[in-house]
Chain A
Amino acid sequence: MAKTLIKLENVSFRYNTQTVLENVSLQVEERDFLGILGPNGGGKTTLLKLVLGLLKPYSGKITLFDGEPIVNRHRVGYVPQLFNFDFEFPITVREVVLMGIIGKRRFRHGYNKTEMELSDKVLNKVGMNSYAETLIGDLSGGQRQRIFIARALATEPQLLLLDEPVANIDQQWQHSIYDLLHELNKEIAIVVVTHDVGIVATYIDKIACLNRTMHFHGSTRDGIPRISEMYQCPFEFIGHEIPHRLLGKHNHD
């Protein structure tokens, strides 16, 4: 049986009096590629922050790698939304990537050989090895996203959590980022939250819809083989009724 990485049991969350999440239950297992789809303001980022122990649930229970989120969150590779960042900030690609292991390093100046090798290795994995000394601000949106994925990989995670990984990134890069995630999924579980039902549908193998309450639709593999595998080429849906067409009819109430 596959190991459970994230388990949410009847989790609710409120900001002041406003209920953002209500009775959400979810299970993420090894090697999953889960897409959590939902409108903006539907609670997707809140859900990720709960899983990472940055927020505490109002009720319900969250288990991360069989323990408390706050204890085990360093084993998660988190890729936040890019638009919150100040990209004028003076920081190089290598410095960003090595933030991934900053909790483990001792207090001293400069990076040692192991750290240089680790950063080269993860940058190589995302195809950005020639950019180590470049400033993050000098990169394009797609390149930055790869760097943030590399930073998450530097933590040597068993699970990647990505928040809107292709928002404001041009088409060509969107595919290359999902191709990269698809490749990484051979070793680690991946959870993507997004409001954009387009491109993600081609890659994920489990779907959950989130808008305050969650509807887990399970595996897309059981019923329908993954579209991209079927056609042997990248494939993208256009139109807002896509999940329904992909999954067949399903009710939310």
Chain B
Amino acid sequence: MIEILHYEFMRNALLAAILVSIAGGIVGTMVVVKRIVFISGGISHTAFGGLGLGYLIGVNPILTAIPFSLLSALGISVARKYTRISEDSAIGILWSVGMALGILFVEMAPGYAPDLMSYLFGSILTVTTTDILIMILLDLIIIGLVFFFYNQFQAVCFDEEFAEISGISVRFFYSLLLCMVALSVIILIRVVGIILIIALLTIPPIIARQFIKKLKPLMLWSVIISTLFTITGLFLSYYFDLPSGATIVLTLTVVFLISAGVKKLSASNR
């Protein structure tokens, strides 16, 4: 077990597991309690357009995905305020437009896109040191924002109307929350891929929420649970030679099912 840590790719993978769990656990908790899972799905799929652009202009696709997912976050926030399109329709449009642009860009890009699949379904074993640095930076931004604006985020998520009357800009904090979702998406792409991102944002907080009722401990436990089982999934995929993103998601799903069963049993024994 220890000897595989001698490989740089394995050390990077373990580090990545922790870094994605920090973003996924903290932001995912807010996604789950604010019930914006579908919005987050929209933001993550729109990022595919940015990945495609990266291939087209020959830049690290992760970097070009950042403006795409941030713009889609702001787009959803603006659509909610200024248009008569319902929020979920706006998400549906952005979702498919992002994917369509991505496919178009990749097709137009010279040559063949060999690691495209890894952006769609994740590949934790190919995470590079540059990726790790980007993840650390984005994690720090997320931690900083949540630390300083904790009460504002909580208030806006719980009761937008009262928050507005009390004099804080609900639109600003809601947009900021969606931007944090966008940054989490970027962090998560390399590990689970665009299509599976939503699992790491939702499953760990949902497991934790069955046992933890307060917001701060909920964030903390989501991070712990996510770290633990992302690493478990990573080892399973390594030893059984399975695709890592899918293995991680299914590991979390099994843990969720077991935890729901335990919860049910403990509730009926009371």
State whether B166 touches A102 (Cβ < 8 A). yes
State whether A135 touches B167 (Cβ < 8 A). no
Known: A99-B163, A155-B166. 8 other contacts (CB 8 A): A74-B165, A78-B165, A89-B33, A90-B214, A99-B162, A100-B166, A102-B167, A108-B148
Rounded to whole angstroms, the CA-CA distance of A86 and B32 in the bound complex is 12
State whether B168 touches A102 (Cβ < 8 A). yes
CB A195 to nearest CB in B, in angstroms, measures 20
Question: Is A107 part of the contact surface with B, judged by Cβ < 8 Å?
Answer: yes
Question: Is A243 part of the contact surface with B, judged by Cβ < 8 Å?
Answer: no
Question: Is A184 part of the contact surface with B, judged by Cβ < 8 Å?
Answer: no
State whether A104 touches B33 (Cβ < 8 A). no
Contact of A151 with B162 at beta-carbon distance under 8 Å, contacts A90-B218, A104-B167 already known: yes
CB A80 to nearest CB in B, in angstroms, measures 6
B interface vs A, CB < 8 Å?
Answer: 33, 35, 147-152, 154-155, 157-159, 161-168, 209, 213-215, 218
Q: Which residues of chain B are near A99, meaning CB under 8 Å?
A: 151, 155, 158-159, 162-163, 166
Question: Is A54 part of the contact surface with B, judged by Cβ < 8 Å?
Answer: yes
Q: Which residues of chain B are near A240, meaning CB under 8 Å?
A: none
Closest to A89 in B: B158
**How many A-B residue contacts, CB cutoff 8 Å?**
69
A interface vs B, CB < 8 Å?
Answer: 52, 54, 73-74, 76, 78, 80, 85-86, 89-92, 95-96, 98-105, 107-109, 135, 137, 151, 155
Rounded to whole angstroms, the CA-CA distance of A85 and B161 in the bound complex is 11
Q: Which residues of chain A are near B167, meaning CB under 8 Å?
A: 74, 102-104
Q: Which residues of chain B are near A73, meaning CB under 8 Å?
A: 165
State whether B154 touches A95 (Cβ < 8 A). yes
Rounded to whole angstroms, the CA-CA distance of A78 and B162 in the bound complex is 7
State whether B151 touches A91 (Cβ < 8 A). no
Rounded to whole angstroms, the CA-CA distance of A74 and B164 in the bound complex is 9
State whether B158 touches A91 (Cβ < 8 A). yes
Contact of A52 with B165 at beta-carbon distance under 8 Å, contacts A92-B214, A96-B158, A109-B147 already known: yes
Rounded to whole angstroms, the CA-CA distance of A74 and B161 in the bound complex is 12
Q: Which residues of chain B are near A151, meaning CB under 8 Å?
A: 162
State whether B152 touches A91 (Cβ < 8 A). no
State whether A103 touches B147 (Cβ < 8 A). no
State whether B150 touches A103 (Cβ < 8 A). no
Closest to B215 in A: A90
CB A110 to nearest CB in B, in angstroms, measures 8
State whether A85 touches B215 (Cβ < 8 A). no
Can you list 17 A-B contacts (CB < 8 A)?
A78-B165, A85-B158, A86-B158, A90-B33, A90-B214, A91-B215, A99-B158, A99-B163, A102-B152, A102-B155, A104-B167, A107-B152, A108-B148, A109-B148, A109-B150, A135-B213, A135-B214
Rounded to whole angstroms, the CA-CA distance of A107 and B150 in the bound complex is 9
Rounded to whole angstroms, the CA-CA distance of A218 and B213 in the bound complex is 47
Q: Which residues of chain B are near A91, meaning CB under 8 Å?
A: 154, 158, 215
Q: Which residues of chain A are near B166, meaning CB under 8 Å?
A: 74, 99-103, 155
Closest to B29 in A: A90
Rounded to whole angstroms, the CA-CA distance of A99 and B168 in the bound complex is 10
State whether A102 touches B163 (Cβ < 8 A). yes
Rounded to whole angstroms, the CA-CA distance of A52 and B149 in the bound complex is 25
Pick the contact of B161: A54, A104, A137 (CB < 8 A).
Answer: A54
CB B68 to nearest CB in A, in angstroms, measures 28
- Of the listed residues B148, B163, B164, B165, the one surrounded by the most CB atoms of chain A closer than 10 A to its CB is B165
Contact of A107 with B161 at beta-carbon distance under 8 Å, contacts A90-B213, A90-B215, A102-B155 already known: no
CB A205 to nearest CB in B, in angstroms, measures 26
Rounded to whole angstroms, the CA-CA distance of A178 and B35 in the bound complex is 34
